[in-house]
Amino acid sequence: MGIVTKIDDRSRLTLPSEIRGKVGIKPNDEIIIEGRDDEIIITKPISPREFIKEAEDLAKKIKKTKVREIAPLKIKEMWTRDL
């Protein structure tokens, strides 16, 4: 279960400090807000450098499996497991 917060009279939302700290969001950071069905998804974008580093780390994990083909959903699972 998440933390309950309110939208103020100017339609602003305050992200609780526990959540900001957990995902590393600091003042003036950009965030991505998506609406999916009845959910609002807030994510922190990663820089191209961070993306490349994560992709390289994932490639190393995949290489260690010694499997020639891995299903895309398995790759997604491996990539997001440590989040």
37: domain CATH number is 2.10.260.10
Do 29 and 8 share a structural domain?
yes
Residues 45-69, mean pLDDT to the nearest whole number: 82
Do 40 and 3 share a structural domain?
yes
Q: Which runs of E-coded beta strand occur in 1-83?
A: 32-36, 39-43
d(CA 80, CA 72): 12
What end-to-end distance do the CA atoms of the chain give, in Å?
A: 17
d(CA 61, CA 75): 10
Do 41 and 13 share a structural domain?
yes
Within its chain, how far is the Cα of 68 from the centroid? Answer: 28
Q: Which domain holds residue 76?
A: 48-80
* pLDDT confidence tier of residue 23, bands split at 50, 70 and 90: confident
**pLDDT value, residue 60:** 85
